[in-house]
A = this chain, B = another copy of it.
């Protein structure tokens, strides 16, 4: 995934990501961005666990949803913002490891609806294990 978006566009997207306080709370970073693709990575913080000490489904969801949303936004016209209309997640394994890596991808970009998928993997000592897959719909909204 190469950062081959228009530089102004990429900056706008990265600023939008940086303004999501939930991503900051999770110490998440946008680790890659390209046309129709986005990767978001985060540790599995002690503040975002479920009752067994693994990452909470809400953390996994938030990372996958965010990666998918910015993948969608990368193909929308300037001045648009993006909102999740709906998203489905299947959880495959507990979110344990050094960090989570969410990769969002546009399946079909449309004027009114953009269909996206995302995968979330857990990385432990350089090994990756798929922990969740997501499939959903993003819609453009006018920028605030």
Question: How many of these chains are in the complex?
Answer: 4
Residue from A16, A51, A136, A137 whose CB has the most chain B CB atoms within 10 Å: A51
CB distance from A17 to the nearest CB of B (A): 7
A57 proximal to B (CB < 8 A): yes
Q: In the complex where A21-B48, A22-B59 touch, is A137 in contact with B65 (Cβ < 8 A)?
A: no
Q: How far is the CA of A143 from the CA of B82 in the complex (A)?
A: 28
A89 proximal to B (CB < 8 A): yes
The digit string for A69-96, where 1 denotes a CB below 8 A from any CB of B, is 0000000000001011111111111000
Q: How far is the CA of A51 from the CA of B20 in the complex (A)?
A: 5
Q: In the complex where A22-B47, A50-B22, A56-B22 touch, is A90 in contact with B135 (Cβ < 8 A)?
A: yes
Which one, A1-9, A29-37, A110-118, A120-128, is touching chain B?
Answer: A110-118
**Chain A positions near chain B (C-beta within 8 angstroms):** 16-17, 19-22, 24-25, 46-52, 56-59, 61-63, 65-66, 81, 83-93, 107-108, 112-113, 115, 117, 130, 133, 135-137, 139, 144
Closest to A117 in B: B133
Residue from A20, A22, A87 whose CB has the most chain B CB atoms within 10 Å: A22
